[in-house]
C-alpha cells in the first residue's frame, strides 16, 4: 500500500480526490489538511464520507507518506515552500495549481507579467498529461496536474498537429464549464442567484490563464472563450479548426488512431457528438467530429469531460498510478 | 405622481421592487440607495435596468419623497433611526424586514429572547397583509411588509380559522422555498455548488423566525419545516390540518368565499394543485385542497406564490397602492 | 381596441403571446385555438391565466378579428390554407413558423431541397425584424416573425456589414439556447432526464434551418453551432468575426450608432458582456464587444436575448404595433 | 463469476444497474434486453458505456444465467410470464416493479381494486429490504426490489415501531423526489419545460401506489405526500411522528442502535440533517432527528437517499449479493 497525503482536502477537487482514493485498492490516506475545518473529521463536513481527521498544514507529517497531492487555491503562499520541502525529503508530488504547468520560465514571465517564483521547480516539473507525456510522468518527482479547460482542447488538437493536418494555426476554442470549476470559495459569480438559470462568457479572447498550457502543448495560437454553465460538473468545448483543403473525414479520423489504446479517450462514431451527461462522473474525454466543408478544410470538433475527474482529481490519480508503478487505470473504472 | 425613495436597491427584493415601480403609472422613483455600489448607476450593476443613480444613505433626501421602502438586510443597524426619522418627517414607510411584524412587544421579547428596540414603533406598525388588514393599511404610516413563508400559511388557514372549522390547533406547515429567499449576501448555503441540484431542510420544528407572524395572524400552533429548493424564485407549502370530523370538501370550499373578490388569490378547482411555475413572475397566491379522510377531518392544503412578488416586493406595492389611494392592483397585473 | 385572434395558444410562444396581449392597452383577444385542449378554458390549462375559451381551428371566426397570429408547429399542414384564407379576407397576419422568412423562392428551394408550397406568399411576406425593415412591416399584410437564433447574429452583425468593416465573410456563430426553443411537444431530447444538468451541441456546421435567415439578412457566410442549455429561456451567442486589420474598438462602436434610438437594443459599455439573466423576461437584445487583436482585426461579439420575448412573442407584438399604428414599444416595457 | 441477465437495460434503473455490475468483481453480464434499441450496442445508446449488445426479450437466453433482474415498466404485460418461466427454470430473480412487493393477495386486491394476477408468486416473493429481511432474502428465489419512496419512510420508522415508541399510528410523510423517479418514458410532467425550475405535489393523501409497502412494513397509517423536485436524482422525506410523551432525544437515538452495523445507514449526529447532495451517487440512506417538543412527543425525522442507488439499482445489487453468497456491500462502496 502506498501512503498518501493531501494538502487541501475540503475544496471540490480535494473532496473528489478522496472519494477516488477510498476506492483505490493500493493506496492508504495518511493525512488530509484543511484550513477552517482543521480539527474536525471529514465526516463532520460531509456526512457520508470517511472519518478521516482533518489536520492543519503544520500537523501533517510529510515523512509518513510516499506521495503528496497539493490541492491548494491558486496563488496560495504556502505552496512553493511546501513543494520544496516535500521534494527535498524525496517525496513524489502532484500539484493541482497552475504554478508548474509551463515548461519555460521565460514563457511564464511573458504570459504572467512577472518572473516565476521558483524557476528551477518549473523546469523540473512534468506536465501531467499521460496521453502525451506518459514516460516522463513515470519518472517524474514533481507533476503539474493539467488544467480542466486545456485538456478539452489539447487532446482533440494534438493528433491533428502531429499529423500535419492543420492549415491555419489560429484555432477557436469556445468552452462551456460547470460552476464547480470556480471552486468552493465564496464569490458573487458563484452565488446561486447569479449563476443559476443563466449563462455567460468571461475572460474571452486571449487573456484566460489556461491559454499558456494549450498553446505550449499544441504549438497553435488559440482564441479561447470560456463560458459558465448552470451545471455543477463538466466542460464541453466546441473547436473551430481549418485543416488542409480537401482532407476527408476518414483521413482526419485516421489521425486519431494514436489514441486507440488510451483507456480514457473515446472518439465517437460519425454523426455523434458528446454531451456532458455522457462524461459526468466518468474518466472519459469524449469527442465528436463534424466536417463543415471539404473544399475549405473547415472542421468542428466537440469535446467533453468531467472537470473534476479527467479534468482534475481523476487525472491526478492516473498520473499517480504511473508514478507509483500501478496499472494506469487502477481505481478509475 | 407620488414620489418614492428606496433604501437598499441592489438586493433581490429592492431590484424586483424597482422593476415594478418602473412599470407603475402613478409613481416616480426619486432616490435609491446602495452600499458598495453607491456612486454607480443601476444600469451599471444590471445592464437592462434604468439609469437611476445609486446613492449612499447619507445622500438620499428624505424630504423629496412621499413614501419610502426600506429593503435593508435583517438587523441592519441603521434601520430603526432611519424609520424614526422618516416618520418624524411625516413620511409613509413600508419596511421589508421582520422588525415590525409582531403586534405585541411582549410576544416579540418572548420569541426573540430580547426586548424590541423600539416598542412604540412596533405597536404603531400595521402588518402589511391587505387581505386581512386592508383598512388599517390604508390609514397606516408604518407598514411591516409580510414575510414570504408566512403568507403561504396565513392566507390558506385564516378562512378555516374564521369559520371555526379547525379541530386541532396544531398545524404542520412543510414549506419549500427558492434560494432567492436567502438574499444576495454571500454564504456557503447559497453557493452554487452547495445549493444546486440538491434539497435540504433547515431550522425545522418551532425555531424559524417567521413562526411568530404565522401564529399571530392565525392563532394556531404551527410546526414549521422550511426547506431549500434548487430554484431561484417561489415558495410552495404543504399544510396538514385536522378539521372538524365529517366536514365535506364543499363546506371547506365555502369558507374560502371571503376571498372571492381578492385580486391575487386563486383557489384552484377540485383535483388541481398549484405548481411553482403557475405563480412565478405573478402576484398570485394559488392554493389547492385535498381531503384525506372525511371521517377524521384530515385535509391537506397546498399553496404557492412567488416569494419576490406576492411574497415581498409586489405585496409592498399592493400596500403602497392602498396607502396612496390608488386602485389596489395598479401596476401589478 | 384592435381585435386579435391566435391560432395555437397552448404552445410556449402562444402562451407568452397571450401574457403580453393581456397587458397591452389597445388590443382585445377575440379567439384562441388549441388542439387537444379545445373546449377547455385557458385557465384550466394554466391556472393563473385568463378564462379565455380555447376553440378548435374550425370554431375560430376569422372575420371577427383585425389581426391574426399563427403560432402553429413548424410544418403544420393547416398553415398555408389558413394564411391564404386570412389574407383573402383582408386580415393582417403574423406567422411564427419559418415558412415565410426567406425572400426568394429559389433560395428556399435550394436550402430545403424542395420548392416552396406557396411562393407568391413567400414573396409577399415581410421579414419581421423592425430594426431592419420597419417601414415594410408598417405596410405589410403578412409578416414572417423572426427565428430566435437568427436575431442574435443578424442584429450584432448588420451594422458591421453596413459599415463595410467585415474583412472575411465567413463568420462563426456559436449559439446556446434554453430548452423552451424546442417547444412543448414531447421528445426525448426535451425530456428532463436528458436535458437537465447537461449540455450538448446539435446540427452544427451549415445545416440548421435558421441558417438561411442569417445569411439572407447579413449577406455573410455563417458557420452556425447551436447548443442546448439546461435553462428554460434565453439564447446567448458568441460570434467570431474578422474585421479590417487595424480597426479600433471605437471605430467598431461607431458602427452601432444606428441603433441609438432603438428601444430594445443595448450595446454594453467596454468590458461588459451580457448574461442570460440580464435579458430573461425582457424585450432586450444586449451585446458586448471584445477586441482580440488590433492588428488582425479579430473581434468577438457576445449577444443575448429572451428567445420567447425578443426572440418570438415580444418581437411579434413589436411588429403588430407597427402594423396597427400603435407606438412601437406599447405594452412591451 | 455469477452470470447475470437484465430485462430492460435502457431505462434509468437498468442503466444504473449495468454501471454497478460492470464494477462488481464477481459477476458477468450475459445479456441485456431493450425494446426499441434491440440490435444496437449499449455504447451506441450511451457512448461511454460498455459495448454490450442489446437483444430482444425473445433473443435472451434464460438458461445461460444464474440470476435475472427485471427492470421493466410497471404493468409491462410480459412480466408475469417471464418471471414464471425464470422461476420454473430454477433461476433467481429480482424484480424492480411494484408487482410482488405486498405479502398478502387480499391486501393487494383491496389496495389496487383488482385481484393479483399471480397470487402464488406474490406469496413466494420476499420484500427486498436487507435491513429488515436479510435472512429471507438470502434464501429467496424471487425478490421484490423495494420502491424508492417507501425506503425513506420504512427505514427511519421501523426502529421506533420495534421499540414501541410511537404514540399515534397516523404518521405524515412529506416526500420530495428527483424526476428520474418518473422514468425515461416521455410524459408532459417530465418534459423539461414543465419540470424544470418548478416544484409540485401530486397524488397526495392516501392514494399513491407506494403506500401499501410503507404500511405493510411499519404497521402504521401513513399520510403520504409525494412532490417532484427539479433535480435528477435523490429523495428527501420529512416525517412527522408523535412518540410517547416525554421521550428524550437520547432514548429515540437508542432505538436506532439496531442499525449500528448496517453498511448503508447513517444516523447523523444531533443538529445535523441530511441533504440530497450528501447521498447522491452513494448507497447511503442518511437521516437526522429533530425533537419539536419533549412534552408532546412530537419529532421530525428527515431522511434522504439516491433513488437510483439505495432506492433502486444499488438496493437490488445488495440483495443479489445476499442471494449469491457474496459479501453484502461488495461492489457498492
CATH number of the domain to which C170 belongs: 3.30.360.10
Alpha carbon distances (Å) from C147 to C144, C151, C154, C218 = 9, 7, 11, 14
**Residues 85-124, chain A: which have Cβ within 8 Å of C?**
none
- Give the pLDDT band of residue C206 (cuts 50, 70, 90): confident
| Rounded-to-integer distance, Cα C278 and Cα C268, Å | 11
D48·A272 Cβ contact <8 A: no
Give chain B's radius of gyration (CA, Å). Answer: 20
pLDDT value of residue A333: 86
Alpha carbon distances (Å) from C88 to A163, C62, C84, C101 = 63, 11, 6, 20
Same domain assignment for residues C235 and C301: yes
Q: What is the Cβ-side half-sphere exposure of residue D139, based on CA atoms within 13 angstroms?
A: 4
Average pLDDT over residues D236-256: 97
Given a cut of 90, is residue D185 above it in pLDDT?
no
| Rounded-to-integer distance, Cα A238 and Cα A302, Å | 5
Given a cut of 90, is residue A74 above it in pLDDT?
no
| Rounded-to-integer distance, Cα D155 and Cα D202, Å | 23
B229 neighbors D229 (Cβ within 8 angstroms): yes
pLDDT value of residue A184: 87
Mean pLDDT of all residues belonging to chain C: 96
Q: How many domains does chain A have?
A: 2
Distance, CA of B167 to chain centre: 27
Mean pLDDT of all residues belonging to chain A: 96
C-alpha torsion angle, residues B21, B22, B24, B29 (rounded to 10): 60
pLDDT value of residue C333: 86
| Rounded-to-integer distance, Cα C320 and Cα C69, Å | 9
Determine which helix (DSSP H) or strand (DSSP E) holds B142, and give its type and residue range: strand B142-145
pLDDT value of residue C146: 97
Active site residues of C: 148
How far off is chain A from D306, nearest CA to CA, in Å?
A: 12
Give A268's contacts in chain D (Cβ within 8 Å).
Answer: 47
In a domain, A333, yes or no: no
A48·D23 Cβ contact <8 A: no
Bridge partners of A235, per DSSP, are A177, A305
Nearest neighbour of A201 by CB, restricted to C223, C238, C293? C238
Q: Tens digit of pLDDT for each residue in B174-223? A: 999 999 988 888 898 999 999 999 999 999 998 888 999 999 999 999 99
Give A197's contacts in chain D (Cβ within 8 Å).
Answer: 197
Same domain assignment for residues A167 and A61: no
Q: Tens digit of pLDDT for each residue in B141-159? A: 999 999 999 999 999 999 9
In a domain, A91, yes or no: yes
- Residue D78: domain span: 2-146+311-323
How far off is chain B from C10, nearest CA to CA, in Å?
A: 14
Residues 6+ apart with CB under 8 A from D88: none
Same domain assignment for residues D93 and D163: no
Q: Tens digit of pLDDT for each residue in A269-304? A: 999 999 999 999 999 999 999 999 999 999 999 999
Largest CA distance in chain B: 64
- Give the pLDDT band of residue A328 (cuts 50, 70, 90): very high
Give A232's contacts in chain B (Cβ within 8 Å).
Answer: 192-193, 196-197
Same domain assignment for residues B54 and B173: no
Give the mutation candidate from B47, B270, B289, B306 for the C interface (greatest C CB count, under 10 A). B47
CA nearest C331: which of C243, C285, C264? C264
Same domain assignment for residues D100 and D210: no
A232·B187 Cβ contact <8 A: no
C200·A236 Cβ contact <8 A: yes
Given a cut of 90, is residue D303 above it in pLDDT?
yes
Kindly report the pTM of this predicted structure: 0.97
How far off is chain C from D191, nearest CA to CA, in Å?
A: 5
A181-185, B234-238, D31-35, range with the lowest pLDDT = A181-185
| Rounded-to-integer distance, Cα B288 and Cα B156, Å | 9
Q: How many CB pairs below 8 A link A and B?
A: 54
How far off is chain A from B193, nearest CA to CA, in Å?
A: 6
Same domain assignment for residues C170 and C60: no
Given a cut of 90, is residue A28 above it in pLDDT?
yes
Closest residue on chain B to C25 (Cα): B333
Choice among D126, D148, D279, D332 that is catalytic: D148
In a domain, B281, yes or no: yes
Same domain assignment for residues C215 and C128: no
In a domain, A252, yes or no: yes
Residues 6+ apart with CB under 8 A from D111: D102, D211, D212
Given a cut of 90, is residue A98 above it in pLDDT?
yes
In a domain, C333, yes or no: no
Same domain assignment for residues B141 and B186: no
A28 neighbors A333 (Cβ within 8 angstroms): no
| Rounded-to-integer distance, Cα D330 and Cα D328, Å | 6
Cell, residue D5? 441477465
Determine which helix (DSSP H) or strand (DSSP E) holds A288, and give its type and residue range: strand A285-293
Same domain assignment for residues C199 and C317: no
Flag whether residue C22 sits within 8 Å of chain B, measured between CB atoms.
yes
A227 neighbors C176 (Cβ within 8 angstroms): yes
- Give the pLDDT band of residue B224 (cuts 50, 70, 90): very high
Given a cut of 90, is residue C209 above it in pLDDT?
no
Q: Which ranges constitute the DSSP H helices of B125-228? A: 130-139, 148-162, 192-195, 211-218
| Rounded-to-integer distance, Cα C145 and Cα C88, Å | 20
**Residues 180-209, chain D: which have Cβ within 8 Å of C?**
180, 184, 186-188, 190-193, 195-197
Average pLDDT over residues D27-35: 97
pLDDT value of residue C197: 97
Q: Tens digit of pLDDT for each residue in D90-136? A: 999 999 999 999 999 999 999 999 999 999 999 999 999 999 999 99
Quote ipTM for the complex.
0.96
Average pLDDT over residues D220-241: 97
Closest residue on chain A to B46 (Cα): A194
Q: Are strands B285-293 and B298-305 parallel, antiparallel or unpaired?
A: antiparallel
Residues 6+ apart with CB under 8 A from D48: A266, A278, A279, A282, A284, A286
C304 neighbors C285 (Cβ within 8 angstroms): yes
Q: Tens digit of pLDDT for each residue in C24-81? A: 999 999 999 999 999 999 999 999 999 999 999 999 999 999 999 999 987 899 999 9
B23·C284 Cβ contact <8 A: no
Choice among B29, B122, B144, B148 that is catalytic: B148
Flag whether residue D306 sits within 8 Å of chain B, measured between CB atoms.
no
- Chains with ≥3 CB–CB distances under 8 Å to B: A, C, D
Same domain assignment for residues C178 and C247: yes
Given a cut of 90, is residue A120 above it in pLDDT?
yes
Mean pLDDT of all residues belonging to chain D: 96
pLDDT value of residue C101: 97
Same domain assignment for residues D156 and D216: yes
The total number of residues written for chain A in this structure: 333
pLDDT value of residue A119: 97
Choice among A4, A32, A60, A148 that is catalytic: A148
In a domain, B212, yes or no: yes
A71 among known catalytic residues: no
In a domain, B104, yes or no: yes
pLDDT value of residue D183: 85
Alpha carbon distances (Å) from C83 to A48, C108, D39 = 62, 18, 45
Given a cut of 90, is residue A206 above it in pLDDT?
no
| Rounded-to-integer distance, Cα D6 and Cα D14, Å | 7
In a domain, C332, yes or no: no
Closest residue on chain A to C202 (Cα): A273
Q: Tens digit of pLDDT for each residue in B7-23? A: 999 999 999 999 999 99
pLDDT value of residue B208: 84
Closest residue on chain C to B284 (Cα): C48
Closest residue on chain B to C267 (Cα): B47
| Rounded-to-integer distance, Cα C140 and Cα C322, Å | 9
Same domain assignment for residues A302 and A177: yes
D198·B293 Cβ contact <8 A: no
Flag whether residue D277 sits within 8 Å of chain C, measured between CB atoms.
no
CATH number of the domain to which D117 belongs: 3.40.50.720
A197·B230 Cβ contact <8 A: no
Amino acid at each position: 500500500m502506498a501512503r498518501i497525503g493531501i494538502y487541501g482536502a475540503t475544496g471540490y477537487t480535494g473532496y473528489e480526490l478522496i472519494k477516488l482514493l477510498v476506492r483505490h485498492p493500493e493506496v492508504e490516506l495518511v493525512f488530509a489538511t484543511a484550513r477552517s475545518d482543521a480539527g474536525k473529521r471529514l465526516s463532520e463536513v460531509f456526512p457520508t464520507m470517511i472519518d478521516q481527521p482533518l489536520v492543519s498544514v503544520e500537523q501533517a507529517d510529510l515523512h509518513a507518506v510516499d506521495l503528496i497531492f497539493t490541492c491548494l487555491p491558486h496563488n496560495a503562499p504556502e505552496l512553493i515552500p511546501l513543494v520544496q520541502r516535500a521534494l527535498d525529503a524525496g517525496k513524489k508530488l502532484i500539484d493541482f495549481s497552475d504554478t508548474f504547468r509551463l515548461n519555460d520560465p521565460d514563457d511564464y514571465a511573458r504570459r504572467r507579467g512577472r518572473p516565476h517564483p521558483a524557476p528551477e521547480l518549473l523546469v523540473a516539473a512534468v506536465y501531467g498529461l499521460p496521453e502525451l507525456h506518459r514516460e516522463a510522468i513515470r519518472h517524474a518527482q514533481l507533476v503539474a496536474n493539467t488544467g480542466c479547460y486545456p485538456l478539452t482542447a489539447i487532446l482533440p488538437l494534438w493528433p491533428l498537429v502531429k499529423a500535419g493536418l492543420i492549415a491555419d494555426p489560429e484555432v477557436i476554442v469556445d468552452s462551456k464549464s460547470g460552476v464547480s470549476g470556480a471552486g468552493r470559495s465564496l464569490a458573487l459569480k458563484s452565488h446561486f442567484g447569479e449563476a443559476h438559470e443563466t449563462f455567460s462568457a468571461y475572460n474571452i479572447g486571449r487573456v484566460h490563464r489556461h491559454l499558456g498550457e494549450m498553446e505550449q502543448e499544441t504549438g497553435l495560437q488559440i482564441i479561447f472563450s470560456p463560458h459558465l454553465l448552470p451545471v455543477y460538473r463538466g466542460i464541453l468545448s466546441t473547436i473551430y479548426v481549418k485543416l488542409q483543403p480537401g482532407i476527408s473525414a476518414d483521413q482526419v479520423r485516421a489521425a486519431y488512431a494514436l489514441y486507440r489504446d488510451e483507456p480514457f479517450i473515446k472518439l465517437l462514431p460519425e454523426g455523434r457528438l458528446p454531451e456532458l451527461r455522457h462524461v459526468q462522473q466518468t474518466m472519459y474525454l469524449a469527442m465528436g467530429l463534424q466536417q463543415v466543408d471539404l473544399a475549405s478544410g473547415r472542421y468542428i470538433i466537440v469535446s467533453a469531460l468531467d472537470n473534476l475527474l479527467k479534468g482534475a482529481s481523476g487525472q491526478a490519480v492516473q498520473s499517480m498510478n504511473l508514478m507509483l508503478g500501478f496499472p494506469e487505470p487502477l481505481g478509475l473504472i
